[in-house]
Amino acid sequence: MRRVSTNMPNDDLQYRLRRQEADLSNLQAKMGTQKRIKDLRDDPLAAAKAVRYESYLARLDRFENNAQYAKDHLKVSDGYLRQAQDVMQRIRELAVQGGNGTYSGEDMRYMGIEVNELLKELVQVSNSIGPDGKRLFAGDKAFTEPFRAVESSVAGAGENVIARVDYQGAGSSRRAEVGERAIADLDIGGGEAFWAEKMQIFSSFDATAYRAASQTSFFVDGQEIAVNPGDTIHAIAAKINDSAASVKAYVDPTTRGLAIEGTSPHLIRLEDAPGGSVLKDLGVIRQTADPGAPNWHPSARVSGGSAFDMVIRLRDALFRGDGNEVGSLGIGGIDLALDNLGARLAEIGSRQERVEMTWQRINSEIPDVTSHLARETSLDFSEAATDLGMIEFAHKAALQTASKIVQPTLLDFLR
């Protein structure tokens, strides 16, 4: 026969009341957080789905911020390139005037003075700083002034003027992840945007007997070219042509050395890998403590100028009063620079369009994922309010019943 002690009814009542209070507290906590899942055991399957939705939503928020930054950055770059285009258009107008043969030497000198001031403005635009404090056209050397103007005396100028402009930046390597495995290029390097002619680099070293001594590599426009032991000059030229760099390579039939030509107007960047010396041994570049263009070998023949070179050539011809050069090489060089600027603006525009479409797609995905997450985790307040009312009513009824079942005794007062 089961033995029933006097404490058993009290213990049972206490246990049931505590269970009701726990349910009441749990429901109130869910209503406070507006989530129906407080612990994993509430709904394990929904909790697993919610974790995946929250992870994906966090990535979408990051992608949205990156896409917005890319939009703003490209918009600023586009604005400065358009300013440079306006400056070049004005320079071309002066070149057309100076090349028509109706102006005197003194008039052409005045035009040269204006072109010189416009050249200063062009250098200023090329060294522009974005809202984040980084140089727009310096590539990954974001805090380095990309273009350095070197002044010297020029015949007819009357004072020191800009004699050449050297590029000190790097390639356009800054990028932003705007989607799953989707990368957007943010920058156009100054060696691409402010260039005019296709570069040509001819080594004077006879490389007929050249053989690579060890496993090494070198870089062309940031693209790594692997070199295996025993590779000949022809094998190296073929590997350059197979790379993604915008150049073509071949063996010069005259010098039998390596020749590299750009397939588009840009500054060709060449660099040996750390510990390697392929390009140096082939007489293309010289070894420097800070590899970077221009670092051509002294014996190499290099051609292909920047937009600044074209403006300087035009300005000097105006100072000399040489209308023939102004109307031929002068206008031709400015046209090349303008064509390249137009192409780079089109490239920026296409990047802007892609980033804008990506940003819109992400903004349409975020509400969808949020709704999926809400369906799994959000609390139905009408149902929760009904349940809360029922639990409160049941708890009050249980307390009233307990007060009648468990009557106080003398022992309760003697404790």
What is the SS3 string spanning 57-81? HHHHHHHHHHHHHHHHHHHHHHHHH
Per-residue pLDDT band at 258 (split at 50, 70, 90): very high
Query: Which range has the worst mean pLDDT, 50-54, 137-141, 211-215?
Result: 50-54
Residue of 25 and 153 predicted with greater confidence: 153
The three-class DSSP label of residue 138 is coil
C-beta of residue 232 within 8 angstroms of C-beta of residue 329: no
Residue of 158 and 161 predicted with greater confidence: 161
pTM: predicted TM-score of the whole model, two decimal places: 0.79
Query: Which range has the worst mean pLDDT, 7-21, 103-117, 122-136, 182-196?
Result: 7-21
**What does the alpha-carbon distance between residue 221 and residue 135 come to, in Å, rounded to a whole number?**
20
Residue of 287 and 310 predicted with greater confidence: 310
Residue of 176 and 88 predicted with greater confidence: 88
Residue of 385 and 220 predicted with greater confidence: 220
| Domain residue spans of the chain | 53-194+308-365, 200-303
Average pLDDT, the chain: 85
Name the CATH code of domain 200-303 (choices 1.10.8, 3.30.70, 3.90.320, 3.40.1000): 3.30.70
Q: 53-194+308-365, what's its fold?
A: f41 fragment of flagellin, N-terminal domain (1.20.1330)
The three-class DSSP label of residue 326 is helix
pLDDT of res. 292: 46
Residue of 217 and 101 predicted with greater confidence: 217
